[in-house]
Structures are given as C-alpha cells and as structure tokens.
A and B are shown apart, each in its own frame.
Chain A
Amino acid sequence: MFKLFIFLLLQASICFAQTGPSELPNDSIYQVKSKWDDQFGKKIELASLVGKPVVISMIYLSCKFSCPTTVMHMKDLQKMLPEHLKNEMQFVLVSFDGKHDTPAVMRKYAEKHALAFPKWRFLTSKNQQDVRELSSLIDFKYKQIGKGDFEHSFGIVALDERGRVLGSTIGAAMTEKDLIPLFDTKK
C-alpha cells in the first residue's frame, strides 16, 4: 500500500514536471492560468496541451458561415501534414460563446463534423476575461452582435509543442499550407 502511494506520488510529480508552468518558455501562451471546459465538461488548463504541436482556432458553434469553413481549413491542413506530424498534431477549437456552447453542444458538433477526440479538442469558458485573454494572445478579434451572434477574425494558428505561436492564417497573410514547414523549425 505504502509502495503504491509512493508510486502515485512519483507519477504525480512527473506529471507536474512535464506540464508545470515553470517549465514553459516565457513566450508560451500556455502560461495563462485560465481554466477551460472541454467537450466532456472536464476543467483543463492550456498547459495540459504541452507535448504536441497544436493547430488552434476560435469559433462559435451556432455560426453558419465562416466557422464551418474554419473547420474545413483545419481538416485540409490535417490531410496535407507529412507523416511525422500527422499522428502528433492536436486540433483545438475554442468557442467564445461559453453561454450556448456547453459540453453537450460541443460533443454534438464534434460528432456531426466527424471531429473525434483526442485528435480534436473543444474548449470554452464562461469567463469572458479568459476568452478575451486567449484571443488577444493569438491576435484574434471577436465581438458579440446581438443574441448569440458574433463578428470575428477568421483563420487558424500554429503552436509548437510548448505553446509558442509559430504562425497564423489570421489576416490572410499565410495559407494553411504555409504553416506546415513552421512546425519543423526549432525555436
């Protein structure tokens, strides 16, 4: 029993060492301390994404026009990825409509668009300050216009395995294809 306890303690400390904020480079966006709800209603921190390269974007799920296109662009990128990145890559969709996009809504959306966990992750938060913070870090703008509708930037952002921004298609400076070589440049 005691041995098990020590074992668990060791495991816990290893986990912590791997994802602890102190380990993060000082330009990592995973330094934020905000907590997010995933599609299973589990609270997670962005730092839990450490270890894998990430493609991230922000959307709202009742959106009819540009958001499905965002998902399509992410899927296109997924198809274009070379073998060594294909398995690794994590796709993260963050909803800025935490009020309507509950875990159940996120799961339904994932199912409808065949975005299976754990490759695809959905996150949201009811804390508008935290959503605004993340959006500011990836240079993504949004504004609520009327009930449940938003105007927002459009594009996807590439992060390295420790949460540093590698590049982005927001503002149409790059296309999805241009992001791929960035994952292989070591900072």
Chain B
Amino acid sequence: MKKILALLLILFHSAATASQVEIKGGVFTPLYGSAKKTVKVSTFSMDVTPVTNADFLAFVNSHSEWRKSAVSPIFAEADYLRRWISPSELGPDALPDGPVVNVSWFAAKAYCESKGMRLPTVNEWEYVASRPIPGVDVRKAILDWYSEPTPAVLPSVNSGFKSSNGIVSLHGLIWEWTLDFNSAMVTGESRADGSLDKSFFCGAGSANAADKSDYAAFLRFGFRSSLKAKYTVNNLGFRCVK
C-alpha cells in the first residue's frame, strides 16, 4: 500500500512539475499603467500550472529555513502552510497536485530562486491573463469564479481554465503572487503618503483605468494592493517564470 502511495506521489509530482510555456513578447494595455499607455512585455517562459503542494514540500525539505516550524515571523504569518498537517506532511486538506496556498511572497520568491527562476511581474501576469480562453467568455467566467467561496480542499492545478497559449489555471483556481504586487495603484500622491493606504480605497482611482468594464482586473489590482509580503492567504499561491 505504501509503495503504491509513493508511486502515486511520484506520478503526481512528475505531472505537477510541468514544464514551462514560452510566452512571446508583445504589447498590451494594463488596467493601470503610465497614463493608459501600452506596455511592452519581453519574451519569457512561464510555468504551465501554479506550484503544487508536492513541489513546495520538496522545497521545504531541502530548504529547512522555509519549514513551518522554522520560518521567521517577518517572512510569513502564522497561517503559513496552514492546510498541511505538519511541517513535513501534506495530509488530507492539501492534495499533492493541488496548488500550494498560504504561502508568503517571501517564500514564493525563495522557491522560484531555488529553481533559478523568479516571480512574474504584474505586467507579465496580466499580459498572459489577457489572452483568450477557447470557448469561454473570460471576463464573465472569471467573475463567476471570483464570486465562489474557496473550497476546503483545492483541486488539482490542472483544473482551472486553459488559455490558448497553453497556460493552465491562471484563472479559476487561486490568486497568484506577482513580483511587484505592491506597486499597483501607486498614486502621484505617494510622495506625501508613504503608506499609500488612501489610494487603496479611493474610488477616484478608477478614473485612470484603461478599461472600466474589466471588473475582474479591478478585483485583481485591488486584491494585490491590499497584500503585504508576509501575508499567507487561504487561496493565494504562485507560479514562476524565467
């Protein structure tokens, strides 16, 4: 039985350590940019799926400073890896091929670096997110998903929407960390207002938006700017790029 489990784990693991897809560079208009200007994104490679629990378990096993039992409170909140039953075991609430969540930005950064990669920038992430998903009204589907509660056990990283460029679960499974998540919605007033908290709640901020009907993107930018790097949110994971 144990052997079968181990084999399954390995299978899950190899399925989960999916390769990357090359994202051809190009130009797009992010929701918030420098005066609604288009942004150029260079070619990069992105993980097909978010990082799985099994992937992250292998990482903490070889980088003990990122174990739940060892991690510094300035790098991750107390809820870090909350769904795991122990610092070195996943348990029933964290499927091996499910996305790792309750991870801080610092932990996500360290994971990607350990693979010689990094987190995607907001622009890179949104650029990929702006691609069509075959047969799906993307914005409506995303809003439907945003309105659903997070399930107690998150399903496989392959269960989200599949984009036309081969990227899976960018929408429809979890939220994802970005490298410069906390630079969203920085206003011209930032020099006077260091914490920028006002800008997070000010409705006038939307006057700068490129497409006021892209409500899903509003939600993402709003969510990102509410985060701090040590936060460990229940439905927030990540994927890496190169």
Contact = CB atoms under 8 A, between A and B. Distances in A.
Interface of A: 26-29, 31, 65-66, 128-129, 132-133, 135-137, 139-146, 151-155, 169-172
B228 A136 contact: yes
A152 B191 CA distance: 6
B76 to A, nearest CB: 11
B229 A133 contact: yes
B103 interface: no
Contact of B74 (A66, A129, A137, A152): A137
A135 B196 CA distance: 14
A26 B73 contact: yes
Contacts of A29: 74
Interface of B: 34, 72-75, 105-106, 109, 113, 118-119, 179-180, 182-184, 186-188, 190-197, 228-230
Contact of B179 (A27, A128, A144): A128
A146 B34 contact: yes
A31 B186 CA distance: 28
Given A133-B106, A170-B195, A27 B190 contact: no
Interface of A is mostly: mixed
Contacts of A142: 183, 186
Nearest to B182: A141
B73 A153 contact: no
Nearest to A137: B74
A153 B195 contact: yes
A153 B194 contact: yes
Contacts of A146: 34
B131 to A, nearest CB: 24
Task: List 4 A-B pairs, minimum CB-CB distance, nearest first.
Answer: A171-B195, A136-B229, A143-B183, A170-B194
Nearest to A169: B194
B142 to A, nearest CB: 25
Given A128-B179, A132-B180, 10 more contacts: A26-B74, A27-B72, A27-B73, A27-B74, A132-B179, A133-B109, A141-B183, A141-B190, A141-B194, A170-B194
B239 to A, nearest CB: 15
A99 to B, nearest CB: 14
Contacts of B180: 128, 132, 143
Nearest to B113: A129
B211 to A, nearest CB: 20
A28 B191 CA distance: 27
Most buried by A among B34, B186, B192, B197: B186
A143 B196 CA distance: 12
Contacts of B196: 141, 153
Nearest to A145: B34
Contacts of A31: 72, 74-75
Contacts of B193: 171-172
A155 B191 CA distance: 9
Contacts of A145: 34
Nearest to B225: A141
Contacts of A65: 191
6 contacts: A128-B180, A137-B74, A153-B194, A154-B190, A172-B192, A172-B193
